[in-house]
Structure 1
Amino acid sequence: MLFRPLPLHFYRQQSTLELARTLLGKLLVKETEKGVTSGWIVETEAYIGPEDRAAHSFGNRRTKRTEVMFGPPGYIYTYVMHTHCLVNIVSGKKGQPEAVLIRAVEPCTGIDLMYERRGKEKKEQELTNGPGKLTKALDITKNDYGLPCYTLPLYIAEGKTIEEIEKGVRIGIDNSGEARDYPWRFWVKGNRFVSKKR
């Protein structure tokens, strides 16, 4: 194991909105046979079902896809949207289906391997500046669904101190009623790897 994962109590001691902020600057790590890739988390979004119309668990919707969200915090929730895999961290207490989406990371280790996965013609800024881009760069897949995020192969480690955090509305949820206006997206101010709103 290349880095030291954050302990389980890190996920149990804070609310979903708090976790969405404190994950900024932490290191998202994926270890594979090809090598280790990692990136500092620079953008997140909180999803607080069942009252949050933008959450997959809105209305306590419990399906095969959302099942892991109903379990304890500190586990991986991956799903595919528009052919892209997205990665979330389950954040609510058991029975409270909440999660934090990791929207963007700043590459740290394994950058050559990221280029191999994303395309050598990509600009470095484009490697991981979006939720589907970062999962491809780090080889995060549906197979990571339900795994703990405090041990191999996919985990979050201590990172670096963040000077200033900004917040705003979440992206890509225009059909979610009043939930589209909730300021539950957080990002590192001035970081060039933060995703761009369309």
Structure 2
Amino acid sequence: MPTHHATHSSMTFDRDITDLARALVGARLVVRGTGGTILETEAYGRDDPASHSFRGRTARNAAMFGPPGTVYVYLSYGLHLCLNVVGRPGEAVLIRALCPEIGTPTMALRRGLPETSPLLAAGPGRIGQALGLSLLDSGKPFDGGEFHLTPAGQEPDLLTGPRIGITRAADLPWRFGLAGARGLSRPFP
């Protein structure tokens, strides 16, 4: 039985949060039989004023203080469930875009879109809906059970830019995307 610590499927979660965000681009994410290749991520550090953990542990962000490799799901704008991968305590990487490859009929049904729609999993809220996430998923492990991450075979060509939709520390270049990918949540500057 895999342990809920630093390494799952040779993915190392216990590392600098921007390194983890870069490493997740190109990785394969599967949640209960649906998923694909991660195209875009954003890093949120412990001392980052834009991070949910900035003011300390709360009931809402408790999963961010769990072991590296923990699932953190939060509700954005009261509507969208957003998936994050916890790194070191109080740090997480938001999954911003995914190339649908596994269970696409189910993802399309959940989204009410054709399987070939470029909007199927382009954006954190769309990913949450496509993967069938719930707030009850927060705190679960990326251990190959319900949540599975497989590292990219080789280091992909990355785009880097500022994070999206935040007002604090918005200038940090902590958003990463797969160069040339269709289906990013927004173009890079």
Q: TM-score, normalised by structure 1?
A: 0.84
User: In structure 2, which of residues 38, 42, 45 is the aligned counterpart of residue 45 of structure 1?
Assistant: 42
Gaps of 5+ in 1: none
Determine the structure 2 residue equivalent to 1:29. Answer: 30
Determine the structure 1 residue equivalent to 2:144. Answer: 151
For the 8 Å contact 1:37–1:111, the answer to whether it is kept is yes
Counterparts of 1:90 and 1:99, CA distance in 2: 4
Q: TM-score, normalised by structure 2?
A: 0.88
* Offset of residue 154 of structure 1: 1.7
Counterparts of 1:37 and 1:129, CA distance in 2: 15
Counterparts of 1:150 and 1:54, CA distance in 2: 28
Counterparts of 1:121 and 1:163, CA distance in 2: 28
Determine the structure 1 residue equivalent to 2:134. Answer: 141
Identity %: 39
- The aligned runs of 1:69-108 (5 Å cut-off) are 69-82=64-77, 83-92=79-88, 96-108=89-101
For the 8 Å contact 2:82–2:125, the answer to whether it is kept is yes
Gaps of 5+ in 2: 1-6
Q: List structure 1 segments (4+ residues) > 6 angstroms apart after TM superposition.
A: none
Aligned residue pair count: 181
Determine the structure 1 residue equivalent to 2:4. Answer: none
Determine the structure 2 residue equivalent to 1:189. Answer: 179
* Paired residue type of 1:44: T
* Offset of residue 163 of structure 1: 3.4
For the 8 Å contact 1:42–1:104, the answer to whether it is kept is yes
Aligned CA RMSD, in angstroms, stands at 2.0
Counterparts of 2:128 and 2:50, CA distance in 1: 21
2:15 corresponds to 1:19: no
* Offset of residue 144 of structure 1: 0.7
Distance 1:141 1:64, change over 3 A: same
For the 8 Å contact 1:6–1:158, the answer to whether it is kept is no
Q: 1:14-58 deviations in whole A, cap 9, x for unaligned?
A: 211100000111111011xxxx21110010000002x21100111
Determine the structure 1 residue equivalent to 2:58. Answer: 63
For the 8 Å contact 1:8–1:74, the answer to whether it is kept is no
